[in-house]
Every structure is written in C-alpha cells, then in structure tokens.
Amino acid sequence: MEVFPVIHTNFWDGVLAVPIVLILTQLIKLFTPVPRAFIPTTALLIGLLLSILYSHRHHLIAGIFMGFFYGYAAIGSYAASRNSWCAFKAKLRKKEHFR
C-alpha cells in the first residue's frame, strides 16, 4: 500500500477548481450571514468538499491533499487581488490629493 498518492494535475486542477472555489465562497459571503472571520475557513471547506467529492473521489488522501491546495489557493488569490486593488485605489487618491 502506498502512503503518498500519485497526483496528476490537469486542466481542472490548474484552471477551474480554484476559481470555482473563489466564486462559491463569494456567493456564500453575499447571500448568507457568515462572519468575515470565517470566510477563509469556508473557502477551505469548499475546496476540500470539491476535491474529495468530485475531482479525487476515488482516493481520499489525494482528495484531502488537493482540497487544501484548492482552498488555500482561493484564499491567497482573493487576498492578493484585494490588496492590489486597495493599493491601486490609495495611489489614485494620493495623486488626486496633490493636484
């Protein structure tokens, strides 16, 4: 019995799973009263469920392993996009202030 699964990434893992987790997390944030502190945990749970129940349903360890990647990649993508957007807005405000 192998301890570590052989995981082959494909188009689903690299391009579709993380945006799906991100979109579902944003929809949950929009339509439910989930506190902001639990949104990253929600993304992680969605990533785990998506991976275990859909993309790696025949191998539990691979599903858990990739589910953490889906969830944390969605959290990181959202945080990076939000920080970039806030920095851009602050830079624009600073330019307008000196005119």
Residue 63 confidence (pLDDT) above 60 = yes
Domain ranges of the chain: 13-97
Average pLDDT over residues 60-66: 90
Q: Which two tokens stand for residue 7?
A: 């995981």
CA distances from 26 to 55, 59, 73 (A): 21, 28, 14
Phi, psi of 8 (to 5 degrees): -105, 120
Least confident of 62-66, 77-81, 93-97: 93-97
Q: Which of 63, 76, 87, 78 is nearest to 12 (CA)?
A: 63
Region of 34 (left: φ > 0; alpha: ψ -120 to 50; beta: rest) is beta
Kindly report, residue by residue over 6-52, the tens digit of the pLDDT. 666 677 777 899 999 999 999 999 999 999 999 999 999 999 999 99
